[in-house]
Amino acid sequence: MTTMTIAKAINEGLRATLANDPKSFLMGEDIGSLGGVYRVTEGLKAEFGAHRVMDTPLAESGIVGTAIGMALRGHRPICEIQFDGFVFPAFNQITTQLAKIRTRSDGQLSAPVVIRIPYGGGIGSIEHHSESPEALFAHTPGLRIITPSNANDAYWMIQQAVACQDPVIVFEPKRRYWLKGGVDTDNAPADPFTAQVVREGTDATLVAYGPLVPVALAAANAAAEDGHSVEVIDLRSISPIDFDTVEASVTKTGRLVVAHEAPTFGGIGGEIASRISERCFYSLEAPAIRVGGFHMPYPVARVEGHYLPDIDRMLEALDRAFAY
């Protein structure tokens, strides 16, 4: 077990992929000599060469569109989109092409492209640098979407994404890039497309993913001081969603709170609330409650603290659940 930051863990995961899979390569803006704006790819160009770590023109549709072509030729492109808010020029290629090639070809073609996207707020940045667009992609059949919340998952998920035959988007919690954790480089963790109970409890289930998992754990600890035992689930996979793990938890606890940074309207939380309401109707003591961003474009940095779900917002939601 080695301790490293999430950014370093992704870097090591990419290094292992490049070393193990000769068909794999990285492509994106500023990922070569600079090592990426978050230095996630630092040192990889020096080690593997410009051929395996390609600086591309500044064109996101071009990055994903050419990656699709290379994947059709049998290569394994790993694209970096520099920031969440800059993925939209590639939205057409991702949703109308990448996601549909398997279906269009009646199952004969695969385009196993991996797209890494740093996402989420809390870094005091300017417009387009703090968004959480995961629901827009989760709504698109044909894509898989995962998001690590800790260094061990970060190290393994990127490698598992590259090994997957389907296109995978890896949303990286950028404000947690410097969060340290233990990484077991010898033993891969669970299937990346499953959720994990990261704190056991009996009174309520708090589901979070990516950057909000540490917040959810802190909220559960605070709730414990008030005598509430809160189970915390790290969703890990946004598409598919491991409803079985959530169902098992809510059947036990009877209460569900789902938290994400993205706006609650039309978001992942609503999907979980709906499915769990169906599956756990007779176990629920309270309606499923969502904690998330407001229905506004991601706000300016000076007020993002009011927008982002924090410990108090999660506790307030738990209190509402306990009030029933």
DSSP structure class, residue 302: G
Q: Does the footprint of another protein cover residue 92 (CB under 8 A)?
A: yes
Who contacts 61 (Cβ-Cβ below 8 Å, separation ≥6)?
89, 90, 92, 93
CB of 231 to another protein, least distance (A): 21
Q: Does the footprint of another protein cover residue 269 (CB under 8 A)?
A: no
Scanning 6-14, 125-133, 237-245, 312-320 for contacts with another protein by CB under 8 A, the matching segment is 237-245
Of residues 11, 41, 97, 264, which one binds another protein by CB under 8 A? 97
Two structure tokens written together for 315: 């506790």
Quick note: the x/- pattern for another protein over 61-90, rule CB under 8 A, is xx-xxxxxxxxxxxx-------------x-
Of residues 104, 139, 182, 221, which one binds another protein by CB under 8 A? 104
The label of the residue with tokens 């704006």 reads 37
Say how far residue 14 (Cα) sits from the centre of its chain.
17
Residue type, 225: E
Q: How many CA atoms within 13 Å lie on the side-chain side of 139?
A: 10
Q: Does the footprint of another protein cover residue 106 (CB under 8 A)?
A: yes
Scanning 13-21, 162-170, 259-267, 312-320 for contacts with another protein by CB under 8 A, the matching segment is 162-170
Q: Which is nearer to another protein, 164 or 224 (CB)?
A: 164
Give me the numbers of helices (H) and strands (E) for the chain, helices first please: 12, 14
Query: CB count, 10 Å around CB of 164?
Result: 16
Q: Does the footprint of another protein cover residue 188 (CB under 8 A)?
A: no
Q: Does the footprint of another protein cover residue 274 (CB under 8 A)?
A: no
* DSSP structure string for 198-265: EE--SSEEEEE-GGGHHHHHHHHHHHHHTT--EEEEE--EEES--HHHHHHHHHHH--EEEEEEEEST
Quick note: the x/- pattern for another protein over 134-153, rule CB under 8 A, is -------xx-x---------
Quick note: the x/- pattern for another protein over 5-44, rule CB under 8 A, is -----------------x--x-------------------
Asked about 129 being catalytic, the answer comes back as yes
Of 34, 84, 317, the closest CA to residue 211 belongs to 84
Scanning 125-133, 161-169, 175-183, 254-262 for contacts with another protein by CB under 8 A, the matching segment is 161-169
Alpha-carbon gap, residue 74 to 64, rounded angstroms: 15
CB of 103 to another protein, least distance (A): 5
Q: Does the footprint of another protein cover residue 109 (CB under 8 A)?
A: yes
CB of 247 to another protein, least distance (A): 12
Q: Does the footprint of another protein cover residue 301 (CB under 8 A)?
A: no
Say how far residue 237 (Cα) sits from the centre of its chain.
7
Residue 240: is the preceding peptide bond cis (ω within 30°)? yes
For residues 90 and 64, the answer to whether their CB atoms sit within 8 Å is yes
Which is catalytic among the residues 75, 128, 129, 295?
Answer: 129
Q: Which is nearer to another protein, 65 or 299 (CB)?
A: 65
Who contacts 100 (Cβ-Cβ below 8 Å, separation ≥6)?
142
Q: Does the footprint of another protein cover residue 96 (CB under 8 A)?
A: yes
Q: Which is nearer to another protein, 73 or 302 (CB)?
A: 73
The label of the residue with tokens 């160009």 reads 45
Annotated catalytic residues are 129
Site residues for another protein per CB under 8 A = 22, 25, 51, 56-57, 59, 61-62, 64-75, 89, 92-93, 96-97, 100, 102-110, 112, 141-142, 144, 164-166, 193, 240-244
